[in-house]
Structure 1
Amino acid sequence: MNAERGALRALLPVLGAHRAMTVRTFGAALADQAALVALVTLTAHTVGTAVVERQAPGPGTVVALLLLVTARALATWREMDLSHDLAYRVLAEMRIRVFDGLARSAPARVGGRRSGDLASAALGDVEALEFFYAHAVAQLVASGVVFGSGTVALALLDPWLLTAVLPVAALLVLVPLLESRGRVARGARTRAAAADLSAETVETVDGLHELLAFGALDTRRERLRAHGHRLGDAQRAEQAREADASAVRDLLVVAAVVGVVLAAAHTVSGAWAPAAMALALGVLAPVSDSAAALGQAGGLRAAAAQVGAAVRAPAGAPPPAAPRPVPDGPLGLRLRGVRFDYGGRVVLDGVDLTVRPGETLALVGVSGAGKSTCAHLVARFWDPAAGAVELVPAAGPPIDLRDVAETDLRRAVAVVGQDAPLFHGTLADNLRLAAPAATDDELAAVARRTGVDRIADGYDTPVGERGTTLSGGQRARIALARALLTHPRVLVLDETTANLDTEGDAAVSATLRDGAPSRTTLLIAHRPSTIRRADRIAVLEAGRVVQTGTWEELTGEGGAFARVVARR
């Protein structure tokens, strides 16, 4: 609840980039509400004149009424146009900010979260804020101005009318504030249920093949139905309370009508009596609408809190204050006294490891030993809690990755994981993701070296979302080719060739060695034939490197390496 308090208020500064449009929206809302109050007041006065004084409206009154009707129609149209234009511009900017926040804090913020949940935060929660920006901000300010001006006019006309208007106006504003905690809780329940349903749906669609193969589709369907019911229950509870709040507002307005009639009957006479009553009720109408907007905005705090948290997410690896340039030529890699933990669970505890320029080193260990964590640290998804990860030039002092600008790091280091994602589009689109300016000749050369050129239909082959139209081996080759297009000087392969058969693995290994002899490669693998091709091998156990050497040296020593090989 504390995280959600002030969540909507914290999102107001984004309007600063749209200051001119915000002012125009406020002006249109003010004109709309003021025209309505003036129209009902003048209409009531005209009717009162006709009934009480038996006088037909003059030409000036008729013209004024026609002008007010026209002005109200134009102001309403303009306010709706501007408010929604403003809201959608702000939402477009907000989506980019949310994406930037997720990208900046990944994988710490993304890791472990379901893709449907992330989609809900990046799209659904942002979309929910459309009401806040389109119907709450400018309208609330305009309502305050109209109400203030209207009460001054009432005080000049008959101060007794304020005794019926001011208490009702205060209650209209107070009621949504008093029940704000319940609205926030109900809104949070609805947003959480929607996120769960989104996550379940995405996972169900992704796993349709497996669900069909194991006859689990009916069970999954029941889970979806249960999540749908939970979302429906949350939405019904939210709408039921909104209906109750609407009824309370209507009762307060009725009470104001009775009070205004009683006050006007004893203090205002003639044609001004109905005009005074219309003015009193006219200034209450924007307050009632604002109370409804306040109530609905309160239910959006959960969405606003999610969006705000994503926008303000801290970087897992902050950019350097004074970046150091990376020199040309071969680069080695060194982990020096590296310590890292996941929320208190120590994974690396003083790792010391050096990969010399141009060397291929295989990093091995049992599952969970921290090999992929080393790869993530080299990619600088995170920074170590202690120690340093360094690039080591062939000549010159080592460079801490924390001192390297991200663009320079991505040009120098490429990390390819076992499950490197592919995107919807063609094969060429996915290859050029890393190097948009790559020529067709460069594309063809890399494709030949990695065996990608043998995929059916060539570069125009459609690649389904996440590469679902391709085999695991094909996806691995594409991911590797994509990384090689950047011409990295340090290449980290985290089980990249695990989905290749033995022949394919050998071919890729030969290609990597022949393609760039000066390239430094950190190879994380389990397959003995892959490990054996490395120049050296390092064994990771209990958070430390406990053995290093060649295949022949380590097989003769036994120990940790022997235990790793025996598991295969």
Structure 2
Amino acid sequence: MSTVTGPTATCADVPARGALRALLPALAAHRAMTARTCVAALLEQGSLTALVTLAAHTVGTAVIEGRAPTAGVVTALVALVLVRALMTWREMDLSHDLAYRVLAALRVRVFDGLARSAPARVAGRRSGDLAATAMADVEALEFFYAHTTAQLLAAGTVFTGGSVLLALVEPWLLVAVLPVAVLLATAPFVDAGARTARGGRTRSAVAALSADTVETVDGLRELLAFGALAERRRKLAERGRQVGDAQRAEATWEAVAAAVRDVLIVVAVLGVVAAAAHSVTSGRLHGAWAPAATALALSVLGPVAESARALSQAVALRAAAARVDAAVKAPALAPPPAAPRPLPPGPLGVRLHRVSFDYGGEPVLNGVDLTVRPGRTLALVGASGAGKSTCAHLLARFWDPSAGEVQLLPADGEPVDVREVHDAELRRAVVLVGQDTPLFHGTLAENLRLAAPEADDRALAEAARLCGVDRIAPLDTLVGERGATLSGGQRARIALARALLAGPRVLVLDESTAHLDNTGDAELAAALRQESRTTIFIAHRPATIRRADRIAVLADGLITEEGTWEDLTGDPGSALNRILGHTAPPEHGVPTA
């Protein structure tokens, strides 16, 4: 099992070739709508070509031969106008409907990728940057799905059919059109590298602005308190200027590209007119057909020019496509088991057997052996950075160890490696509550039901009562985003009530009661007492540590000592006494529940 290499690989900073092609399979789930969109685009472009050609022939016939158009020709012209109008509307409707359906599914896949690879690929990344990938980058791909795929297919079909017809009618007209068509089609790829770089700078600038904006809103109180708001506004203004500069650079080069396309079309017009005039004077083309042939040559060139414009803009989306593709394909650092094993019923204990782990550098854990019997409580103690939270994260299977096993121990039967347990079943059995558990905008009840959406009102009220949540506010009270309207102690009570509502068989508390006073800590300790549940405390508070059945001290990547409170504090030289030395004497002065 590979170790965590850090969060930097979360998204592609350098767009790879084929980043846009990699997103085409997203259309596979919408084959029928994709086919209808392509047909509508083909009819829209084909009807325009037929309309222009027929109208030019009608005018040529009227001028050269003095004949008015027949009723059939007029009917055909009217029908083509109606078809063109209807197909233009239909193609726009279908292409945008298709694009937004694909984007909706793509957002879910991005979120799935982030969830699958969390927390390692999320840790260290700014929330605004993640939001830019999940929302802005996905939204930018609307142009690719709505204005590129079906249109390119239709343009290629119309140009091929028109070229064959031109070759039959007058090959010199095709000779005048073909070189310009080739130049138009290849121009977006000639400048692809520079376009990709400019698009990448724009996406990076937008992501940086999004990240800074989110951080500014989140830290507004601190910025005001320390008088740093003016400096922060200056930084946001600079980020805005960077976005504007990047967008202007893209717009400037796109204007230049549009001018080049216009020049090429003018050259094509001159070439077609010259070829048609030469064909008429040499007798190869009848005068009445000259306007029609000229119109056909130019009308088949129009979709090519429009496709070149679409390709130019699509190439600039490579950076956004690469970021989205990287999020969608993010590997799971805790891959699902090939053949999941069901957990046996009843209480579960925990065993870490020779567990090693690192974050890409020095080992954090180096052969940890630790066993907690079913229904028992353990206090895991150690200095900051000793690896206590890493043990908790491995137990919750946010990551897998680089060596060793993390197992769940039934009261009777064989241990089960957490890597062999289906993720949904593991989440029901093992619940981790951290020190800073975020709350979401909504009611207290909605935040509690996050762990158990199916919980009835009675179970909800009981969990709230046990943890004192009912003393904070009524359960239908709205909670601010991230619990901004609550104190740290109140958030801790809600987080613990949410965990209890899930009914876990193993509960891991990572400094979860650090924001509570001693009275609140004792109250929650009483609420957590349940013989069948295994509880692991990661704590520094002596009162919390003392309540555990056993205490394990983690240092230098190993469990250096283990025993009861009396055993460990009775030894003046114990590691536990050294850790607690700044907070309480070894045996006396420690408050009890």
Structure 1, residues 70-99: CA drift from partner, whole Å, max 9, x if none?
110001000000001111111111111111
Alignment of 1:462 with 2:474, yes or no, is no
Which of 488, 497, 500 matches 2:504?
Answer: 488
Partner of 2:588: none
What is the CA distance between 1:567 and its match in structure 2? 4.5
Aligned partners of 2:558 and 2:546: how far apart in 1?
A: 21
Alignment of 1:337 with 2:337, yes or no, is no
Secondary structure of the residue aligned to 2:204 is helix
Partner of 2:81: 69
Which of 434, 441, 444 matches 2:461?
Answer: 444
Aligned partners of 2:460 and 2:253: how far apart in 1?
A: 60
Partner of 1:274: 291
Partner of 1:473: 489
| Amino acid of the structure 1 residue aligned with 2:144 | F
Aligned partners of 1:87 and 1:177: how far apart in 2?
A: 24
**Residues 11 and 383 from structure 1, CA distance in 2 versus in 1: closer, same or farther, beyond 3 angstroms?**
same
Which of 205, 211, 221 matches 1:209?
Answer: 221
Which of 60, 64, 68 matches 1:48?
Answer: 60
| Amino acid of the structure 1 residue aligned with 2:224 | L
Contact 1:536–1:549 (CA under 8 A) maintained in structure 2: yes
What is the CA distance between 1:51 and its match in structure 2? 2.4
Alignment of 1:95 with 2:107, yes or no, is yes
What is the CA distance between 1:270 and its match in structure 2? 1.0
Contact 1:53–1:271 (CA under 8 A) maintained in structure 2: yes
What is the CA distance between 1:5 and its match in structure 2? 1.0
Aligned partners of 1:244 and 1:219: how far apart in 2?
A: 37
Partner of 1:123: 135
Contact 1:4–1:304 (CA under 8 A) maintained in structure 2: no
Secondary structure of the residue aligned to 2:450 is coil
Alignment of 1:63-462 (within 5 A): 63-268=75-280, 269-456=286-473, 458-462=474-478
Which of 552, 559, 565 matches 2:580?
Answer: 565
Secondary structure of the residue aligned to 1:546 is strand
Partner of 2:538: 524
What is the CA distance between 1:272 and its match in structure 2? 1.1
Deviates further, 493-502 or 528-537: 528-537
Structure 1, residues 32-61: CA drift from partner, whole Å, max 9, x if none?
000111111112122222222233222222
Aligned partners of 2:502 and 2:127: how far apart in 1?
A: 28
Aligned partners of 1:525 and 1:221: how far apart in 2?
A: 39
Contact 1:116–1:198 (CA under 8 A) maintained in structure 2: yes
Contact 2:14–2:319 (CA under 8 A) maintained in structure 1: no
Aligned partners of 1:392 and 1:343: how far apart in 2?
A: 30
Partner of 1:35: 47
What is the CA distance between 1:563 and its match in structure 2? 2.6
Structure 1, residues 385-415: CA drift from partner, whole Å, max 9, x if none?
0000011111112111111111221121111
Which of 524, 531, 552 matches 1:538?
Answer: 552
Partner of 1:548: 562
Structure 1, residues 173-199: CA drift from partner, whole Å, max 9, x if none?
111011001111111111111111111
Aligned partners of 1:62 and 1:129: how far apart in 2?
A: 42
Secondary structure of the residue aligned to 1:540 is strand
| Amino acid of the structure 2 residue aligned with 1:147 | F
**Residues 424 and 2 from structure 1, CA distance in 2 versus in 1: closer, same or farther, beyond 3 angstroms?**
closer
Secondary structure of the residue aligned to 1:107 is coil
Secondary structure of the residue aligned to 1:297 is helix
Aligned partners of 1:83 and 1:59: how far apart in 2?
A: 35
Q: How many residues matched?
A: 565
What is the CA distance between 1:2 and its match in structure 2? 6.5
Contact 2:379–2:536 (CA under 8 A) maintained in structure 1: yes
Contact 1:53–1:270 (CA under 8 A) maintained in structure 2: no
Aligned partners of 2:83 and 2:116: how far apart in 1?
A: 48
Contact 1:473–1:499 (CA under 8 A) maintained in structure 2: yes
| Amino acid of the structure 2 residue aligned with 1:534 | A
Contact 1:191–1:302 (CA under 8 A) maintained in structure 2: yes
Aligned partners of 2:581 and 2:314: how far apart in 1?
A: 61
| Amino acid of the structure 1 residue aligned with 2:546 | R
Structure 1, residues 341-388: CA drift from partner, whole Å, max 9, x if none?
112332111111111112111111111111111110010011100000
Aligned partners of 1:271 and 1:419: how far apart in 2?
A: 81
Secondary structure of the residue aligned to 1:11 is helix
Aligned partners of 2:514 and 2:35: how far apart in 1?
A: 59
What is the CA distance between 1:325 and its match in structure 2? 1.7
Contact 2:15–2:196 (CA under 8 A) maintained in structure 1: no
Structure 1, residues 536-562: CA drift from partner, whole Å, max 9, x if none?
111111111111112222223324323
Aligned partners of 1:391 and 1:398: how far apart in 2?
A: 6
Contact 2:176–2:268 (CA under 8 A) maintained in structure 1: yes
Deviates further, 211-220 or 40-49: 40-49
Aligned partners of 1:3 and 1:333: how far apart in 2?
A: 44
TM-score, structure 1 normalization: 0.98
Secondary structure of the residue aligned to 1:276 is helix
What is the CA distance between 1:3 and its match in structure 2? 4.7
Structure 1, residues 431-487: CA drift from partner, whole Å, max 9, x if none?
11111111111111111110101012x101101111111111111111110010111
Contact 1:333–1:356 (CA under 8 A) maintained in structure 2: yes
Aligned partners of 2:226 and 2:574: how far apart in 1?
A: 41
TM-score, structure 2 normalization: 0.94
What is the CA distance between 1:146 and its match in structure 2? 0.1
Aligned partners of 2:363 and 2:395: how far apart in 1?
A: 18
Aligned partners of 1:196 and 1:560: how far apart in 2?
A: 45
Percent of aligned pairs with the same amino acid: 70
Contact 2:448–2:497 (CA under 8 A) maintained in structure 1: yes
| Amino acid of the structure 1 residue aligned with 2:77 | L
Secondary structure of the residue aligned to 2:425 is helix
Aligned partners of 1:501 and 1:461: how far apart in 2?
A: 24
Aligned partners of 1:54 and 1:216: how far apart in 2?
A: 82
Aligned partners of 2:559 and 2:103: how far apart in 1?
A: 49
Aligned partners of 1:287 and 1:331: how far apart in 2?
A: 67
